[in-house]
Amino acid sequence: MHSGPYLNRRTLMRRSAAAGLLSLPAVGALTSCASGGGDNEEVERGEATENNPFGVNADAELEVVIFDGGFGDQYALDAEEIYSGSYGSVEHSKTQEIQSRLQPRMVQGDPPDVINNSGAEAMDIAALIRNDQVYDLTELLDAPSLDDPDVTVRDTLMPGVIEMGQFGSETMWRLNYAYTVYGQWYSQTALDRLEVEYPRTWDEMIAVCEKARQQGIAGWTYAGQYPYYFNFTLYPFIGKIGGADVLRAIDNLEPNAWRHDAVRAAFEAYHELTARGFVLQGSPGLSHEESQDEWNQYNALFIPNGSWVENESRENTPDDFRMAVGPPTSLDSSDAMPFETLWASGSEPFFVPAQAPNAPGGLEFLRIMLGRESARNFTSLVSSLTAVRGASDGMDLPPGLTSASEVLAAAGDNLLLPRLPDWYRQLNNEEIGGAIAAMMAGDIEPDEAINRCQQAADATAQDDSIQKFQHV
Amino acid sequence: MEAHQRERTGASPPASTTLLAVAFFLPPRFTPERVRYDRRYRKLDQYRFISWFLAAPLLIYALFVISPFVQAFFYSLTDWSGNSATYNFTGFDNYERLWNDDKFREALGNSVLLLVLAPLITLALGLFFAFMLNAGGRHRKNQAISGVFGSSFYKIVYFFPQVLSIAIVAVIWARIYSPRSGALNEGLGVVGLDSWRQEDWLGGDLAIWCVLAVLCWSFVGFYVVLFSAAMSAIPREIYEASLLDGAGRATTFFRITFPLTWETIRTGWIYMGIQALDAFALVNIMVPEHGMDVIPSYLYEKAIRDAQAGYATAIGVVLFLVTLVFSVLMMRLGRRDRIEF
């Protein structure tokens, strides 16, 4: 061994290799820019007029960042064209990496004016609100709407849109532009072939599944890798059985909220699907796309999902599929809320950063988006409903979306709005999702699943590092 | 006169440490004579030469590698969310929380399991395959050793996974593990092992073994090539001599090949250990959110999903320490006399 006094080439290389090992990229690389931050020049406001309620400075540039996901960005380009017709030019960009692209800019105080904060890499809006980095949208809500100056923007919005922008107070921080209907998605063709009606009570559900099984078709499939898809029907199911207060208690992380009888009834009903073998074999390991494919191939009747599924699975949906959505099947006639009750709410969030140089322009852009022209354009481009009330009336919609607007109309005011998914994402996706995954895979009984949910909710309630919210 | 001077300086007392330190930053020409005739000057000159030669890379390294590390230690003591420029100093709260965090312990356990098993399996397989490719074949005429039939073809095939990006590997394997159409369940069905089929490979307790398998699969080819190179550097005469003495394949491997490739194996071990400690892409892409975690994926969830960058940084610091301990241990444990040939 050459441990002599000389630093020869080999030892040198070995030592530099050892030093190289230290270069394991830690989160440090991310944090190195944390304490930077310069102030951004704010654009001067112009004079507010009837057509320009926020006093947008016509010379100022507007910067819009759009999430490049299932909705694309054409709808935004079209709205920007309307904007630049009256005001300054628009700098448009699209990305799938909202967080990695924009978080450094948020930290430095140099954000764009409008952010479509969506996708798997969305920024944590609650944390941004806590740090005063989000612009209060009350001004937008109270402004006259684009199409009718006598009606405020607030009155043009669908129910649940304003609530989805609130985080524990009356202030609306974000605008959810798309409108999603959650429920049990099915193929009318498949039900017709079985000669059954859409099940309205759980007994009917069992009967339909039994009949399907005789034909070699599973009653249900689901995205086992994302078991919180089950929450899309489970939460409104719980709400229907026990009333909206049960869901509010769950959202508020109240002690023993999960031990309510309605929760137990819902869990037991779902567990029955597994116990009786009505769930498509292999579902626990399927991704959302795989489960949708199985459903499209008529291997299963029902799938818990949201109204984006029609667009997402378009390529694999047979022409004669006649996609439709129904409200979650009721338990029985003793339910607290009627059969038509369902979960529908805004999705696809937009917000204006508090430090945006052209915040009035950002508000005006959102006001344009909420105009009828842009809303209808959005619906025809990406086949999704929008947050604008009645915007899709009279439009020729694909079958799934038609069905979604029908059940929405039938529901009237009986809408449920669980907030757990966006208030406590980790609790909803990992803990409750995990408990439901285990129960639906047949690994645990409903009692244990409920225990796990309650324990996880308690742990979240006691965890100081997680920001808490309450229904207002 | 000259002789006189040399005598004078030779008699002068050795230079002080301060003077030596100053001399480190001076070019040789301006080094005071008192230093130049010091006993320690030779070493100083050597290190001075190397450091100045490496000044630019060292500076870049300090700026972009060392300084983020130091900053990371600082941010791990704060409650920084990662979204704004404000944070509070919270002392060792993050570390205390880490100590009591069951999910972190689970992730740590998984990472350590991978750290122990992945190099063991991958290197053993790599060594075995490399040996078979280089020295495991039948004896042919005029050849002391040779690989198995078609070894040059295998060598290329083994390397295939290395060409694919790890993200692609993860996506492909997620498909293989898919319960309804995946190759694994189908394959088990074909060979009659229906009872081994799983409804969910990646969401439950089996996930860690699934990840381990993919990790080993994707790296084994690299080590086959690495070890092949090391083995081909072993002189044939040594093999010939052992053959003459009647050594079989096993003896040849354990008495000749293994000791003579030890340096390469040790380097490979450290490298593979670090790959195993990472395993981020595989876990993040293949395993669902409610499934298992390893330290890097847990760190990612805390930093990105839960906006707890301060806490995530503390996790990063722990990961750094684990890596450091591992590499130091491996360096110390594996030290052997080098055999020159």
Closest residue in A to B263 (Cα) is A14
Q: Choose the mutation target among A1, A12, A22, A27 for the interface with B, i.e. most B CBs under 10 Å.
A: A27
Q: Do A441 and B204 touch (CB under 8 A)?
A: yes
Mean pLDDT within B262-270: 89
CATH number, span A62-178+347-396: 3.40.190.10
Please say if the pLDDT value at position A272 is more than 90: yes
List CB contacts (< 8 A) between A130 and chain B. Answer: 81
CATH class in words for B102-333: mainly alpha
Closest residue in A to B69 (Cα) is A28
Here the tokens at position A137 are 């949208």
Residues A175-216 have pLDDT tens digits of 999 999 999 999 999 999 999 999 999 999 999 999 999 999
Closest residue in B to A427 (Cα) is B290
Residues A403-443 have pLDDT tens digits of 999 999 999 889 999 999 889 988 999 999 999 999 999 99
Here the tokens at position A214 are 């005789």
Chain A closest CA to B303's CA: distance in Å?
A: 8
List CB contacts (< 8 A) between B335 and chain A. Answer: 1
Please say if the pLDDT value at position A296 is more than 80: yes
List CB contacts (< 8 A) between B53 and chain A. Answer: none
Mean pLDDT within B53-68: 91
Contacts 24+ apart (CB under 8 A), B250-258: B252/B135, B252/B145, B253/B131, B253/B135, B257/B131, B257/B135, B257/B231, B258/B127
Task: Give the best-scoring range by mean pLDDT among A31-40, A95-104, A218-227.
Answer: A218-227
The CA–CA distances, whole Å, from A282 to A215, A233, B201 equal: 18, 20, 10
Here the tokens at position A212 are 């399907």
Interface of B with A in 6-25 (CB under 8 A): none
Q: Which residue has the higher pLDDT, A426 or A20?
A: A426
Q: Choose the mutation target among B40, B304, B326 for the interface with A, i.e. most A CBs under 10 Å.
A: B304
DSSP code per residue over B6-33: HHHHHHSPPPPHHHHHHHHTS-GGGS-H
Type of residue at B241: A
Residue with tokens 């003896």: B251
The ipTM estimated for the assembled molecules is 0.77
Q: Which of B71, B323, B338 sits opposite A32 (nearest CB)?
A: B71
List CB contacts (< 8 A) between A225 and chain B. Answer: 202-203, 288
Q: Which of B61, B68, B290 sits opposite A28 (nearest CB)?
A: B68
Chain B closest CA to A457's CA: distance in Å?
A: 15
Closest residue in A to B65 (Cα) is A23
Chain B closest CA to A34's CA: distance in Å?
A: 6
Q: How far is residue A238's CA from residue A267's CA, in Å, rounded to a whole number?
A: 9
Task: Report the share of chain A in percent with pLDDT over 90.
Answer: 69
- Asked if B129 and B137 touch (Cβ cutoff 8 Å), the reply is no
Q: Do B306 and A123 touch (CB under 8 A)?
A: no
Chain A closest CA to B149's CA: distance in Å?
A: 37
- Backbone phi, then psi, for B19, in 5-degree steps? -65, -40
Task: Report the share of chain B in percent with pLDDT over 70.
Answer: 90
Please say if the pLDDT value at position A15 is more than 70: no
Residues B306-328 have pLDDT tens digits of 888 999 999 999 999 998 998 88
Q: Tell me what pLDDT residue A376 has.
A: 95
Here the tokens at position B34 are 């008192």
B195 and chain A: CB distance < 8 Å anywhere? no
Q: pLDDT-derived band of residue A122, with 50, 70 and 90 as boundaries? A: confident
Interface of B with A in 224-283 (CB under 8 A): 267, 270, 274
Q: Which of B79, B270, B301 sits opposite A21 (nearest CB)?
A: B270
Q: Which residue has the higher pLDDT, A259 or A103?
A: A259
List CB contacts (< 8 A) between A37 and chain B. Answer: 85
Chain A closest CA to B19's CA: distance in Å?
A: 22
Please say if the pLDDT value at position A22 is more than 50: no
Please say if the pLDDT value at position A138 is more than 90: yes
Q: Which of B81, B180, B319 sits opposite A286 (nearest CB)?
A: B180
Q: Please give, one letter per residue, the 3-state secondary structure of A230-296.
A: HHHHHHHHHHHHHCHHHHHHHHCCCCCHHHCHHHHHHHHHHHHHHHCCCECCCHHHCCHHHHHHHHH
Q: Do B202 and A130 touch (CB under 8 A)?
A: no
List CB contacts (< 8 A) between A119 and chain B. Answer: none
List CB contacts (< 8 A) between A103 and chain B. Answer: 82-83
Chain B closest CA to A316's CA: distance in Å?
A: 16
- Asked if A52 and A364 touch (Cβ cutoff 8 Å), the reply is yes
Least confident segment among A216-220, A228-232, B41-45:
B41-45
Residues A304-349 have pLDDT tens digits of 999 989 988 888 999 999 999 999 999 998 999 999 999 999 989 9
Q: Tell me what pLDDT residue B194 has.
A: 81
List CB contacts (< 8 A) between B50 and chain A. Answer: 7, 12
Mean pLDDT within A248-276: 96
Closest residue in B to A294 (Cα) is B180
- Asked if B119 and B269 touch (Cβ cutoff 8 Å), the reply is yes
Interface of B with A in 156-175 (CB under 8 A): 174
Please say if the pLDDT value at position B142 is more than 70: no
Q: Do A27 and B337 touch (CB under 8 A)?
A: no
Every domain of chain A and the residues it spans? 62-178+347-396, 181-344+417-462
Q: Which residue has the higher pLDDT, B257 or B333?
A: B257
The enclosing H or E element of A90 equals: strand A90-95
Q: Tell me what pLDDT residue B143 has.
A: 65
DSSP A351: E
Chain B closest CA to A131's CA: distance in Å?
A: 7
Neighbour tally for A10: CB within 10 Å? 10
Q: Tell me what pLDDT residue B13 has.
A: 62
Q: Tell me what pLDDT residue B153 has.
A: 84
Closest residue in B to A283 (Cα) is B199
Q: Do A26 and B316 touch (CB under 8 A)?
A: yes
Interface of B with A in 98-157 (CB under 8 A): none
Q: Tell me what pLDDT residue A41 has.
A: 65
Please say if the pLDDT value at position B2 is more than 50: no
Q: Choose the mutation target among B305, B311, B323, B331 for the interface with A, i.e. most A CBs under 10 Å.
A: B305
B337 and chain A: CB distance < 8 Å anywhere? yes
Closest residue in A to B287 (Cα) is A225
Average pLDDT score, chain A = 88
Every domain of chain B and the residues it spans? 1-48, 102-333
Q: How far is residue A3's CA from residue A386's CA, in Å, rounded to a whole number?
A: 73
- Asked if A220 and A278 touch (Cβ cutoff 8 Å), the reply is yes
DSSP A353: B
Tell which CATH architecture fits domain A181-344+417-462: 3-Layer(aba) Sandwich (3.40)
Q: Using alpha carbons, select from B127, B113, B109 the residue that is nearest to residue B269.
A: B127
List CB contacts (< 8 A) between B71 and chain A. Answer: 28, 31-32, 34
- Asked if A225 and A440 touch (Cβ cutoff 8 Å), the reply is no
Q: Do B290 and A434 touch (CB under 8 A)?
A: yes
Q: Which of A35, A131, A226 sits opposite B81 (nearest CB)?
A: A131
Please say if the pLDDT value at position B220 is more than 80: yes
